[in-house]
């Protein structure tokens, strides 16, 4: 992740939720040439996509709770304060899709749907040593 993506308001991460992780990884590695690093997470495996060793995005298996949601890419925007941003979004008409949560060694994040129905996630990354 580059320094610009750590600034408030910058798009900083892309993530694919898919029903077939192996097929998606095979496709994107062949087409884009990404490298993949598997990370074991509490809710299953997470696959970090890399270019020249630098993380650029991720892939994860859709869960049963996601129902018939189509496979899709989502974006994360870096913010200075997730809770404050979510409060502003709700006041402006957003619907929170999941409560703000902390992911160890990553940061605090939340997703919401804007008044037009588009989903976006916001994140404040943990400080890297």
Q: By residue range, what is the domain housing residue 30?
A: 1-73
Same domain for 17 and 67, yes or no, is yes
48-62 per-position pLDDT tens digit: 999 999 999 999 999
Same domain for 65 and 121, yes or no, is no
Return the CATH number at 60. Answer: 3.10.180.10
Same domain for 44 and 90, yes or no, is no
- The number of domains in the chain is 2
**What is the token pair recorded at 39?**
């990370």
Same domain for 43 and 103, yes or no, is no
Last residue of a domain, one of 73, 99, 119: 73
How far apart (Å, rounded) are the C-alpha atoms in residues 47 and 81?
Answer: 26
Count Cβ atoms within 10 A of the Cβ of residue 31 and give its class: 0-12 exposed, 13-18 middle, 19 or more buried. Answer: exposed
Same domain for 98 and 35, yes or no, is no
68-127 per-position pLDDT tens digit: 888 999 999 999 999 999 999 999 999 999 999 998 888 999 999 999 999 999 999 997
- Under 8 Å between Cβ of 112 and 94: yes
């Amino acid at each position: 992740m580059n320094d610009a993506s750590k600034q408030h308001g910058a798009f900083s991460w892309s993530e694919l939720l898919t029903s077939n992780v192996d097929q998606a990884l095979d496709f994107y590695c062949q087409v884009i040439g990404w490298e993949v690093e598997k990370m074991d997470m509490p809710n299953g495996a997470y696959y970090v996509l890399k270019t020249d060793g630098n993380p650029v995005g991720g892939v994860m298996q859709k869960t049963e709770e996601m129902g018939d949601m189509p496979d899709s890419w989502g974006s994360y925007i870096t913010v200075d304060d997730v809770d404050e941003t979510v409060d502003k979004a709700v006041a402006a008409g957003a619907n929170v899709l999941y409560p703000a949560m902390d992911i160890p060694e990553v940061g605090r994040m939340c997703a919401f749907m804007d008044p037009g129905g588009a989903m976006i996630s916001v994140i404040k990354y943990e400080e890297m040593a």
